[in-house]
Amino acid sequence: MKIIHSPAETAPAPMAESPGTKSHRAYTQIRADILSCTHLPGTKLNIAGLAADMDVSLGAVREALSMLQSEALVVSEPQRGYTVSPVSPKELADITEARIAIEALCLRTSIERGDLAWESRLVAAWHRLSRLSQTEAGRDQHLSDVWSRAHADFHAELVGACGNDWLLRMRAMLYEQSERYRRMSVSVPQQNATRDVPAEHKAIFDAVMERDIDRAVAALENHLRKTATIVRSSVAL
Amino acid sequence: MKIIHSPAETAPAPMAESPGTKSHRAYTQIRADILSCTHLPGTKLNIAGLAADMDVSLGAVREALSMLQSEALVVSEPQRGYTVSPVSPKELADITEARIAIEALCLRTSIERGDLAWESRLVAAWHRLSRLSQTEAGRDQHLSDVWSRAHADFHAELVGACGNDWLLRMRAMLYEQSERYRRMSVSVPQQNATRDVPAEHKAIFDAVMERDIDRAVAALENHLRKTATIVRSSVAL
DNA sequence: TAAGACAAAAATATAGAAAAAAGCGGACCC
DNA sequence: GGGTCCGCTTTTTTCTATATTTTTGTCTTA
């Protein structure tokens, strides 16, 4: 009769939606630290250090880094460890062009194939984002996170009816990369003042709801290109 | 007294271009086995078994599998191990559509930006492929591998001057996935008889050399779509 | 037949050993 | 006197063997 070999000793807290394995928790945390620029681009990642910080073993960290490599958030040189993927103007330009092309493709098919359920989800995502935009996100950290989440959901929902899993996977990858650049250039009010982001979103949303493919794609492209321009000029690359 | 646990016991031979680490050797081997369908799609991959087969430890295999996951050649369910990525008609269709779109994009910019050095490399790749095609590849295994390599090089060179690393990375991923499907459907002579693959390649090559973008893209699309159709009808998915 | 416990197998985690690279100090040469 | 190269020490990455946890298949029992 083995009593209490303690299933709950490790993590009594629910800890969000982590799939149990320690590798995945490490992955989630390192990923968040990279996206939030706690680990700056180009930094060498010390495996032992990370393992000590989050109280897991080397192997777990190593596996987490492998996962991150698949999203191109870190790069590894054999026998020389892992580093946070560096950033550059060229990279930003490549990502932006690729993203415009692929998102446009996804958006076209999404509008063509989208049914009522999709429209409903899109309306919901739009509603959340537009309400949050009114409350001046950006100052307080929590609100900014919530807005980022809503923004990601809205963009994801736009192409949600595309149906091509491979294109969607690539879109997701590029979105994430763009996010990393965007977050490097937060709090540049003087430039954002000349720009009405909610209006750009509204333009996309309206065109999509009217099923005007070309106008929707044009509005999306405009939105992405403007974002990239702002990011580029505000970040010292 | 530990005798000769030997730094050179494992691989005295140069073993091609493997970057030394055992993880990477394991990665290379498993990858080859998946692409050659030694490990069939959908198969569960036993970590301990693989480790024993190639005489490395669990950790090395685990890391190799992580790398493969980033190329979408294997998928993992937490706590339930790894399986070779399954195949399906839907997947093939998605890959084909995505590939046509992205390769077309890459080809356009490649033709626009390509300089003389690129043209020369392309001519070289074309020459190799066309010579190999004449010798009836397909029967003997080695020749077939050589042809595959030349075919891959030719297609890679077509888009070699594109310049957008992100698009190229995605193209490479999709090419690899297509290869896996293609190799599942080898030796179906009756269908290939009605098709002249070298001529399709020549059509692409000629259009590119004349810098006729639209014709080149159309020829490429035709080539990819025909390949997908053959594969689809010849494989029992 | 279905529920539950047991046993086997497989996946994940850990700690420490081996190998490789990086950092460092001193000697040697120009 | 200054610069460069060689060896050693230290750090870091990689690997292995073993332990722990989870899942899965089976067999009993009501």
Whichever domain contains B54, its CATH number is 1.10.10.10
Give the pLDDT confidence score for residue A190 in this predicted structure. 54
pLDDT value at A82 more than 80 = yes
B210 lies in the same domain as B148: yes
pLDDT at residue B4, rounded to an integer? 32
Amino acid B187: pLDDT: 56
Question: Is there a contact between B136 and B187 (Cβ–Cβ < 8 Å)?
Answer: no
Same domain for B223 and B146: yes
- The pLDDT mean for chain B works out to 87
Tell me how far apart the alpha carbons of residues B150 and B137 are, in angstroms, rounded to a whole number.
Answer: 11
Determine which of A142-151, B6-15, B30-39, B77-86 has the lowest per-residue pLDDT on average.
Answer: B6-15
In this structure, what is the dihedral angle of CA atoms B128, B133, B137, B138, given to the nearest 10 degrees? 120
Residues B137 and B201 in one domain: yes
Q: B4: part of which helix (H) or strand (E)?
A: none
Q: What is the pLDDT of residue A184?
A: 85
Residue B18: which pLDDT band, with cuts at 50, 70 and 90? low
Domain boundary among B67, B84, B101: B84
- Return the closest nucleotide (C1') to the Cα of A60: C13
Q: Where among B84, B103, B124 does a domain terminate?
A: B84
Do residues A98 and A134 both lie within one domain?
yes
Tell whether A112 and A138 lie within a shared domain.
Answer: yes
- Judge: A97–B19 Cβ closer than 8 Å, yes or no: no
Tell me how many degrees the CA angle A80-A86-B31 measures, rounded to the nearest 5. Answer: 55
Q: Is B44 helix (H, G, I), strand (E, B) or coil?
A: strand
Using one digit for the tens of pLDDT, what is the confidence trace for B29-71?
999 999 988 999 999 999 999 999 999 999 999 999 998 998 8
- Confidence tier at B177 by pLDDT (50, 70, 90): very high
- In angstroms, how far apart are the furthest CA atoms of chain B? 72
Instruction: Give the best residue of B30, B166, B170, B175 to mutate against chain A (max A CB count within 10 A).
Output: B166
Of A21, A67, A98, nearest to B167 by CB-CB distance is A98
- pLDDT grade for A144, boundaries at 50, 70 and 90: confident
**Interface residue A229 vs chain B (CB under 8 A):** no
**Percent of chain B whose predicted confidence (pLDDT) is above 90:** 72
- Contact between B122 and B160 under an 8 Å Cβ cutoff? The reply is yes
Contact by Cβ (8 Å): A170, B170:
yes
Please write the tens of the pLDDT for every residue from B121-153.
Answer: 999 999 999 998 766 655 677 778 899 999 999
The pLDDT score that the predictor gives to residue A15 is 38
For B179-200, what is each residue's pLDDT tens digit? 999 988 865 555 555 788 899 9
Residue A5 lies in a domain: no
By C1' distance from the Cα of B60, the closest nucleotide is D15
More confident residue, A174 or A5: A174
Q: Both A104 and A201 in a single domain?
A: yes
Q: Is residue A76 within a helix (H) or strand (E), and if so which, with residue range?
A: strand A74-76
Distance A106 CA to C29 C1' (A): 67
Taking residues B4-15, what's their average pLDDT?
36
Q: Is A119 inside a domain boundary?
A: yes
The answer to whether position B207 is within a domain reads yes
Residues B40 and B128 in one domain: no
pLDDT band for position A8 (cuts 50, 70, 90): very low
Report yes or no on A160 lying in a domain. Answer: yes
In a domain, A13, yes or no: no
pLDDT at res. A70: 86
Beta sheet of A74-76, edge-to-edge order: A44-45, A82-84, A74-76
Q: Which of B19, B67, B166 sits opposite A95 (nearest CB)?
A: B166
For residues B163 and B64, membership in a common domain is answered with no
Contact: A170, B98; criterion CB under 8 Å: yes
Q: At what angle do helices A197-209 and A141-158 cross, to 10 degrees?
A: 30
Scanning B58-97 for CB atoms below 8 A from A yields 59, 62-63, 66-67, 69-72, 78-79, 91, 94-95, 97
Residues A58 and A157 in one domain: no
Question: Does any CB of chain A come closer than 8 Å to the CB of residue B24?
Answer: yes
Of B10-14, B190-194, B212-216, the range with the lowest mean pLDDT is: B10-14
Q: Is residue A12 part of a domain?
A: no
Query: Which phi and psi (to 5°) does residue A99 adopt?
Result: -65, -45
A67 vs B69: CB contact, 8 Å cut-off?
yes
Instruction: Give me the number of domains chain A comprises.
Output: 2
Judge residue B81's burial from the number of C-beta atoms within 10 Å of its C-beta, 0-12 exposed, 13-18 middle, 19 or more buried. Answer: middle
Query: Which of B63, B84, B105 is a domain's end point?
Result: B84
Chain B residue whose CA is closest to A102: B102
Q: How far is B170 from B103, CA to CA, in rounded Å?
A: 9
Same domain, A48 and A134: no
Residue A235: the pLDDT is 78
CATH of the domain at A230: 1.20.120.530
Nearest to A126, CA basis, from A22, A20, A32, A204: A204
Quote the domain boundaries for residue B48: 22-84
User: CA-CA distance, B30 to B44, in Å (whole number)?
Assistant: 13
- Establish if B136 belongs to a structural domain: yes
Q: How many helices (H) and strands (E) does chain B have?
A: 10, 3
E strands within B46-199? 74-77, 81-84
How much is the mean pLDDT over chain A? 87
Work out the average pLDDT over B198-203: 95
State whether residue B37 is helix, strand or coil: coil
- Tell me: pLDDT of A16 over 90: no
- Give the integer Cα–Cα distance in Å for B211 and B126: 16
List the structure tokens of A58: 């080397």
Quick one: tokens of A118?
């999709």
In angstroms, the CA of A2 and the C1' of C5 are apart by 13
pTM: 0.88
Radius of gyration, CA atoms only, chain B: 20
Mean pLDDT calculated for residue range B159-184:
95
Q: Tokens in use for A196?
A: 């009405």
Q: Is B171:B109 a contact under the CB 8 Å cutoff? A: no
Residue B3 within a domain: no
Task: Assess whether B71 and B186 both reside in one domain.
Answer: no
Residues A136 and A204 in one domain: yes
